Every structure is written in C-alpha cells, then in structure tokens.
Amino acid sequence: MAIIGCGPAGLSAAVNAKWRGKEVVMFGTKLCSPALHKAHEINNYLGLPAMAGDNLRKRFLEHAASMGITPEKQAVSAVYPMSGYFELQLRKENLQATTLILATGVAVARPLPGEETFIGKGISYCATCDGNFYRDKVVAVISEDAHGEEEALFLAGLAQKVYYLPLYDPVGSMPENVEIIRDKPAGFSGATRLEKLELKSGRVVEVDGCFVLKEQLPLTQIVPGLELADRHIKVDRHMATNIPGLFAAGDVAGRPYQLAKAVGEGQLAALSAVSYIDSQK
C-alpha cells in the first residue's frame, strides 16, 4: 500500500494498514501537515484536549514511528493506474503499489507579503477554529470563494466588526456589522502582532485578526482520469475514488478541513484499501 501525504489522514491510514498486517510505504513533505504545525491550540480532537498543533503533529508521527512507519521525504511526480497495480513515478525510480491512498491535503497558494510573519499572531486560516480568540474584536476575512461567507457569518456573531473581502462574485447578504470591501489584499503589517491589512487601492484597514481562506488542489494533474467534485477528489462513503484501488482521505477529499474528520477518513480509506488488496489475491 502506498500513501501520499503524511498529515493526520495519511498517518491514520498507515497505522491502520500496518495494524492489519499490510506493507506500507509513505511519501510526504517536510512538516507533513503545515496546517497542524501552525495551529495554536486544538481542543476538538477527542481524547487529547488543549494541545498545541505541533505537539499533536509530533505525537502522530511518533505513533506511526512506533509501528515502523517513517514518511519518505520525496515527491511523487506522477501516478499511472495500470492493470492491477499503480506505477508511482519518484525522483529517480519508479515504485509499484497494489493500492494507493491520496492524503495530500490542500495546498495554500503563495503567501501575501507579511502573511507568514503573523501566522498565529493575527493571521489564521480557519474562522470556525480560531474565531473564539476574536470575541468583540475587529477582524477581516479574505475569501476566494462563497464558502467564506459562512465563516464571515460565524465571525459576525462573535466579533465587533468584520471586513469581508470577496475575491469572487456575487456575494450574499450580510449582517450589519459586516462591511464588504471590493478590493484586493496587498499585505499585512504590525509591530509584534497583526495590526493592519493593506489593500491594493492603498486603503489600510485596522484589524485585530485576518482570516485568509484560499484553496488550491495539487495532484489533480498527476493522476490522469481522477474524478473531482468541487475542487476536491470525489469519494464515496468508503473513501473510494472513481479509479479502482485508489482511495482518498482528509482535506483533499473535501470540507470541512478538520483533524478528527481526517483521522477518521484515513482509517476508512485504509480499511477499504486492505479489503481491496485482499480481493486482488
């Protein structure tokens, strides 16, 4: 079994497949889950309350390591579904796998000037996760699609004022304390924490926090014929894609981008892949 991605979904898949006695090879990036690495505090993963995201990330990797699973820091540049197996194109060699799980997460687009500086200091990527830190404060939401409106509405119920920057059209109706700004973000500034959102027009908006909601799916061109739905890999309730033997789990398989969902889907994908291997014998 090959697994691409070593975030929560991929690691959960690996742990489950290994526990079922399958041979697992896993590919991933340096941090495995940049989103988890950056998360200030996570309270909604059952059994491990009030954990810093990075501690959770390390704990997950240790769990996998204790079962002999170590992610290879290597990119898979292409996947070819063959008759009865998958051919994975690596940097210097090819690898054959009976079954494959895609758990690559969703890539974040190129950061804005100042964006990385203020991550965890005013910049966040999930309103429903971090919104509670901005009760009665002033926040901005930058969104590439209409999904951001839900997050803006959620924040409007908590924050004193919400600036909403839609990078799309049209926008639905918003409560009184939401101001829609038709402009583009240019960058972020502040002393130790985020203080100002700078716009392309030259306007500067003073904020306590800013939620940057963007998405960009990798891998879609890497696996020919893979069916998508709304920019994510299309899966059924067993995490099966349209390609037999190919499964997906976690953020790449759809919203919400949440930890427990990813871990649960990783388990489901692994058990489906285990059944697939057994059916091929």
Quick one: 19 or 168, whose CB is closer to a second copy? Answer: 19
CB of residue 82 vs a second copy: minimum separation in angstroms? 25
Of 233-252, binders to a second copy (CB under 8 A) are 235, 237
CA distance 256 to 281: 36
Q: Using CB under 8 A, which of 252, 268, 273, 276 touches a second copy?
A: 268
Instruction: Read off the amino acid at residue 127.
Output: A
CB of residue 189 vs a second copy: minimum separation in angstroms? 31
Q: Are 123 and 108 in contact (CB under 8 A)?
A: no
CA distance 75 to 48: 31
For residue 70, state whether it binds a second copy (rule: CB under 8 A): no
Q: Using CB under 8 A, which of 22, 37, 63, 137 touches a second copy?
A: 63
For residue 66, state whether it binds a second copy (rule: CB under 8 A): yes
Q: Using CB under 8 A, which of 46, 91, 176, 191 touches a second copy?
A: 46
Identify which range of 7-15, 97-105, 159-167, 190-198 contacts a second copy by CB under 8 A.
7-15
Q: Residue with structure tokens 């991933």?
A: 28
**Omega prior to 170 cis, within 30 of 0:** yes
Angstrom CA distances, 18 to 21, 32, 76, stand at 5, 19, 21
Q: Using CB under 8 A, which of 94, 160, 201, 275 touches a second copy?
A: 275
Q: Kind of pairing, strands 185-189 and 178-180? A: unpaired
For residue 113, state whether it binds a second copy (rule: CB under 8 A): no
Residue ranges with strand state E in 14-149: 25-27, 78-81, 86-89, 94-97, 100-102, 123-124, 138-143
CB of residue 256 vs a second copy: minimum separation in angstroms? 5
Q: Kind of pairing, strands 94-97 and 86-89? A: antiparallel
For residue 133, state whether it binds a second copy (rule: CB under 8 A): no
Positions touching a second copy (CB under 8 A) are 8, 11-12, 15-16, 19-21, 43-49, 56, 59-60, 63, 66-67, 128, 132, 150, 153-154, 158, 235, 237, 254, 256, 258-268, 271, 275, 278
